[in-house]
Amino acid sequence: MATISVENPATGAHVRDVEVTPPDAVAALVARARSAQPGWEALGYEGRGRILKRAQKWLIEHADEVADTISSETGKTREDAMLVEVAYGANALGFWPKKAPKWLADEKVHTFNPFVLGRRMVVRYRPLGVVGVIGPWNYPLVNSVGDAIPALAAGNAVIVKPSEVTPLTSLLFERGLHESGLPDGVFQVAVGTGETGAALIDEVDMVMFTGSTRTGRKVMERAAQTLTPVSLELGGKDPMIVLADADLERAANAAVYYSMQNGGQTCISIERVYVEAPVYDEFVAKVTEKTKALRQGPPGAAGTVDVGAMTFPPQVEIVERHVQQARDAGARVTTGGHVRAGTGRFYEPTVIADVDHSMTAMTEETFGPTLPVMKVADAEEAIRQANDSPYGLGAAVFTKDLAKGERVARRIDAGAVCVNDAALNYLALELPMGGWKDSGMGVRHGPAGLRKYTHQQALMVTRFAPKREIHYFPYNAKITGAITRGIELFYGRGHR
Ligand code: NDP
């Protein structure tokens, strides 16, 4: 049996070997899920909710073990593991079972079309069957397990294919669900490489994919072969706009936090900042000073490290390349700018000033602890530059003028825009979260983020039996006349 060796990126230590599910074993896994799903669906919202709430309790009781596991395979700090991942999971395990009965309840529909008057019409939602969740390495709990929770609450069986770099969190969560009473086969983990992910696409009823735009395209192409629906949460290059009247201290804190948190390896990281000219120098000075003060290193005791490791080896080269290319093109690195010497895989928290769109640091996803800052003449230029990107995931605007902030926000081409905050929309599971342009298709969170795991079925029940239906055969001239008069009567007024 082939295995994957999991390494701790912060120390280089070997963590554990895990067994791989080869592509040709995926069909059997899905068959098992398929036979377990009807029993899970039959438990109803209440029965499923009870088990998911028990899993919530399990997660809270095992928070330390889960956070340690996440840190060991990603190299992220304890706070990044606890605050962003464990807290998200604990919230989601309560939220989805509570919302599912409301958001998936039958909806009564009324029509004014005279040709179908008198019928009872209902939209109902039914689980799809088996959902395949394919996740990235940067948030093994939020983006692999996290997306499985609404799918389970809706009544589906789920198979998660975590990144081969970070399979341990999904395996631990599988244990947690089992100990919480989830029936066998309803949640399974397929550890493996991209080939295992590709095989999963062939077998499941829907694919929830989170990862790079490049792989997202491959996933959609593969899914087209079996007409399997996909939801794609892809890469980003989130801009922050800082207007001259902003609370500069708050804007600088947010820029540093949301670019460096999780080592900058977050899809909705702040990846570029546009600052109005009058406050540009002061802003650069502030973010430089704050970034210099960050403590970086292997996750240690609580509150001892701010910025963790680079999880995925090739990502370090991308960060190095972007910073070097910006330097060569005339940008100013005001702090950081190098791979950190010593054990573990770290890139120094880095601020790059005086950048522009000739530099890859401003146009391509860097996915590292870098904060490039560009001077702009005014809000108009900031909006233009923010929208000059193939990506459209999130964005942030800082200003004390809230009306202006909202006006600017509404002109940015992105799935979510925060005013005087960044990325925080992710925690409001009531809000849809999804990318525009190359950042994705579909949303997670909100009613649409739950309904995508279901079929919609339209029910029409005719309560009465008219003697003669206007559209039944045989057609005759009298009927044609009635139809014509009906069209004129109901739709024709004002159109002559
Ligand atoms: P990848 O696209 O490289 O991988 C994502 C997942 O897809 C992994 O499990 C990977 O397996 C798997 N995979 C690879 N090839 C295929 C294939 N042909 N068919 C099916 N599955 C395949 O992304 P990363 O793991 O590098 O994650 C980083 C990216 O994720 C960034 O671009 C980031 O912006 C994005 N992201 C987006 C989020 C969002 O909500 N929009 C949230 C978090 C991250 P393996 O790892 O084993 O190769």
267 assigned to active site: yes
**What average pLDDT does this structure show over 188-205?**
98
**What average pLDDT does this structure show over 337-356?**
97
Cα 69 to Cα 24, 36, 166, 410, distances in angstroms: 29, 28, 10, 40
**What average pLDDT does this structure show over 184-201?**
98
**Using 50, 70 and 90 to split pLDDT, how confident is the model at 482?**
confident
Q: How far is CA 37 from the centre of its chain?
A: 25
Q: What is the pLDDT of residue 496?
A: 41
Cα(210) to ligand 1 centroid in Å equals 6
| Rounded Cα distance, 254 and 247, in Å | 11
| Rounded Cα distance, 18 and 156, in Å | 26
Query: 355-362, long-range: CB within 8 Å, 24+ apart, which pairs?
Result: 355/272, 355/326, 355/331, 357/385, 357/388, 358/329, 359/322, 359/325, 359/326, 359/329, 359/331, 360/321, 360/322, 360/325, 360/326, 361/272, 361/322, 361/323, 361/325, 361/326, 361/331, 362/272, 362/326
Q: What is the pLDDT of residue 494?
A: 55
Residue to probe by mutation, ligand 1, list 134, 161, 426, 444, most atoms within 8 Å of CB: 134
Closest atom of ligand 1 relative to the 222 alpha carbon: 19
What is this structure's pTM? 0.97
In the chain the first and final C-alpha atoms are separated, in Å, by 75
Q: Which residues does ligand 1 sit against, CB inside 6 Å?
A: 134-139, 143, 161, 163-165, 193-194, 197-198, 210-212, 215, 218-219, 233-236, 267, 312, 365, 367, 393, 435, 440
Angle in degrees, CA 460, 100, 148, rounded to 5 = 115
Angle in degrees, CA 458, 464, 469, rounded to 5 = 85
Q: What is the pLDDT of residue 472?
A: 84
Q: What is the pLDDT of residue 114?
A: 81
| Rounded Cα distance, 361 and 364, in Å | 6
pLDDT in tens, 272-319: 999 999 999 999 999 999 999 999 999 988 899 999 999 999 999 999
Longest pairwise C-alpha distance within the chain:
90
Q: What is the pLDDT of residue 82?
A: 97
**What average pLDDT does this structure show over 96-116?**
94
Catalytic-role residue among 164, 267, 271, 365: 267
Specify the amino acid at residue 483.
I
Cα(270) to ligand 1 centroid in Å equals 19
Cα(228) to ligand 1 centroid in Å equals 18
Q: What is the pLDDT of residue 310?
A: 98
